[in-house]
Amino acid sequence: MIRRLGAEFIGTFWLVLGGCGSAVLAANFGGEGNPLGIGLLGVSLAFGLTVLTGAYALGHISGGHFNPAVSFGLWAGGRFPARDLLPYIVAQVLGGLLAGFILLHIASGTGTFSIDPNAAGAFASNGYGSHSPGGYSVAAGFLCEVVMTAMFLVVILGATHPRAPAGFAPLAIGLALTLIHLVSIPVTNTSVNPARSTGVGVFAGATAISQLWLFWLAPIAGGLLGGVVYRWLGED
Secondary structure (DSSP) of 173-207:
HHHHHHHHHHHHHHHHS--S-HHHHHHHHHHH-HH
Backbone angles phi, psi at 137, to 5 degrees: -70, 165
DSSP run (H or E) holding 191: none
Residue 72 contacts by C-beta under 8 Å, 6 or more apart in sequence?
Answer: 85, 220, 223, 224, 227
Query: Which tens digit of pLDDT belongs to each residue from 111-147?
Result: 888 899 989 999 999 999 999 999 999 999 999 999 9
Nearest to 10, CA basis, from 104, 124, 92: 92
Interval 196-213: pLDDT, tens: 999 999 999 999 999 999
- What local confidence, expressed as pLDDT, does residue 174 receive? 96
Q: What CA–CA distance (Å, rounded) separates 139 from 145?
A: 10
The answer on pLDDT for 43 being more than 80 is yes
Domain span including residue 218: 2-234
Q: Angle at the Cα of 14 (from 12 to 18), degrees rounded to 5?
A: 125
Nearest to 27 by CA among 16, 12, 38, 13: 38
Q: What's the CA gap between 198 and 67, in Å, rounded?
A: 11
Here the CATH number for the domain that contains residue 116 is: 1.20.1080.10
| Number of structural domains in the chain | 1
Name the pLDDT band for 236 (thresholds 50, 70, 90).
Answer: low
